[in-house]
């Protein structure tokens, strides 16, 4: 479809067209002229975006009822958004990952940072899991599926529809098999010498969190000869990496029994089952109980879910991060290590660091900050979009 036949949407006079032209990828609802014609566009419609002077800005995917009413796709309005365009985007994304990783286990597409706004694709060998979290991507899902198979050669493509972002776009929550078949059992994934079991259909998100890979590796360097506690461990992220790094033993704590079972399976496949234990329960209650039991560890890691997923939750989220630090710091042996993580994009690095230091201080401990980690390079940061740099990992010596 040429730009001549595409609908046109327009920025309000007060909208920051300059920021959008410089790369900011979102157009908020209050920046778009939402007249009757624009409101009548089907979610996911590709349209030409004009500024207040009717000069073209680029091509956008429009979702009139969403807070993010438009997502920038291309600055060149003559480009056709379709299968060939998707092939080009995916090819460029794949080139980076193949340069970075020796095996096909990585995040292939990290949404806006890879030029596909709202789209997450994680690769597990010959299977990809797609999260089309924006209406434009949902509308082009058949083309995206074909392009993904062509570029990567994968034989199975699954749709994961559990993201909160899909709700905000007015999309359904129905998972689907787009190509091939869903794996009948969790898949083993090798990272940092550890084996993780990824449940692609019943697990959290796409089945495994690749973003912590470099932080797992750094923590594993501190784990040799140490007892390790991994709280909010999911399928054993930090704990299994620590065992691969020479930890004497590791304890994984999580509220999910299925996640802990997958962690146990991973430890067994690594030959580390005798050094690994799990404890199901509320994280704060478990941290309290471990303290009362007199337990101490050479390395403690807390990697909670997003306590501040959006700005309205920021204050409460920072209090929660402070509480995590206050409850975990007493369990760290003198001169040993505490790793505190946040995946909340609303809590910037400075705010998160401050909350952690308050918690450590209120626990009566003093800290050196020895390392600050972020998401791995298969989760690239889009400089114009702070939200794409969501992950922080602070490593303290107490």
Domain boundaries, the chain: 3-74, 83-179, 187-397
Query: Which has more pLDDT, 139 or 387?
Result: 139
Phi, then psi, of 159 in degrees rounded to 5: -105, 125
Name the CATH code of domain 3-74 (choices 2.30.40.10, 2.30.130.10, 3.40.50.300, 3.40.50.720): 2.30.130.10
What is the layout of strands, in order, in the sheet containing 8-10? 8-10, 45-50, 56-62, 68-74, 26-28
Does the domain spanning 83-179 belong to CATH 3.30.750.80? yes
Model's pTM, two decimal places?
0.94
Instruction: Report the interhelical angle of 283-292 vs 314-328 (nearest 10°).
Output: 20
Given CA atoms 66, 70, 72, 74 in this order, what sign does their dihedral have? positive
Question: Taking residues 93-119, what's their average pLDDT?
Answer: 97
CA end-to-end span of the chain = 60
> Cα(237)–Cα(205) distance, rounded to whole angstroms?
15
Residue 168 clears pLDDT 90, i.e. is over it: no
3-state DSSP assignment of residue 73: strand
User: Whole-angstrom Cα distance, residue 359 to residue 355?
Assistant: 6
Flag whether pLDDT at 291 surpasses 80.
yes
CATH second-level architecture of 187-397?
3-Layer(aba) Sandwich (3.40)
- What CA–CA distances, in Å, run from 237 to 209, 241, 273, 365? 8, 7, 15, 26
Confidence of residue 387 (pLDDT cuts 50, 70, 90): confident
Number of C-beta neighbours around residue 257 at 10 A: 10
Q: What angle do CA 187, 373, 391 make, to 5 degrees?
A: 65
Domain 3-74 matches domain 83-179 at the CATH topology level:
no
- Tens of pLDDT along 303-342? 999 998 888 889 999 999 999 999 999 999 999 999 999 9
Q: Is 343 annotated in the active site?
A: yes
pLDDT of residue 139: 96
- Catalytic annotation, pick one of 128, 302, 343, 356: 343
């Amino acid at each position: 479809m040429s730009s001549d036949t595409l609908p046109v949407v327009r920025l309000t006079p007060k909208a920051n067209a300059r920021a959008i032209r410089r790369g900011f990828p979102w157009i908020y609802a209050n920046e778009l002229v939402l007249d009757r014609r624009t409101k009548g566009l089907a979610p996911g419609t590709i349209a030409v975006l004009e500024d207040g002077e009717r000069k073209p800005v680029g091509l956008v995917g429009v979702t009139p009822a969403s807070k993010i009413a438009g997502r920038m796709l291309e600055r060149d309005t003559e480009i056709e958004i379709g299968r060939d365009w998707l092939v080009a985007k995916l090819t460029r994304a794949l080139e980076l990952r193949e340069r970075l990783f020796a095996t096909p286990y990585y995040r292939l597409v990290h949404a806006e940072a890879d030029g596909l706004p709202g789209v997450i694709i994680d690769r597990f060998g010959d299977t990809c899991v797609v999260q089309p979290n924006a209406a434009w991507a949902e509308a082009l899902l058949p083309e995206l599926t074909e392009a993904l198979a062509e570029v990567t050669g994968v034989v199975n493509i699954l749709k994961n529809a559990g993201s909160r972002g899909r709700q905000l776009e007015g999309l359904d929550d129905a998972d689907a098999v787009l190509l091939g078949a869903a794996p009948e059992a969790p898949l083993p994934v090798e990272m940092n010498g550890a084996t993780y079991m990824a449940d692609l259909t019943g697990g959290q998100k796409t089945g495994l969190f690749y973003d912590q890979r470099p932080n797992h590796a750094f923590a594993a360097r501190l784990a040799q000869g140490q007892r390790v506690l991994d709280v909010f461990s999911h399928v054993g992220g930090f704990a299994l990496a620590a065992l691969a790094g020479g930890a004497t033993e590791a304890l994984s704590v999580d509220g999910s029994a299925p996640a802990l079972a997958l962690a146990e399976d991973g430890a067994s496949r690594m030959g580390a089952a005798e050094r690994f234990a799990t404890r199901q329960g509320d994280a704060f209650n478990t941290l309290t109980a471990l303290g009362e039991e007199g337990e101490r560890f050479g390395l403690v890691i807390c990697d909670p879910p997003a306590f501040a997923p959006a700005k309205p939750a920021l204050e409460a989220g920072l209090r929660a991060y402070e509480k995590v630090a206050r409850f975990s710091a007493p369990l760290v042996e003198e001169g040993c290590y505490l790793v505190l993580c946040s995946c909340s994009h609303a809590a910037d690095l400075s705010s998160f660091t401050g909350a952690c230091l308050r918690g450590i201080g209120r626990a009566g401990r003093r800290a050196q900050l020895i390392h600050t980690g972020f998401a791995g390079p298969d989760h690239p940061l889009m400089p114009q979009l702070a939200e794409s740099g969501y992950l922080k990992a602070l490593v303290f010596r107490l």
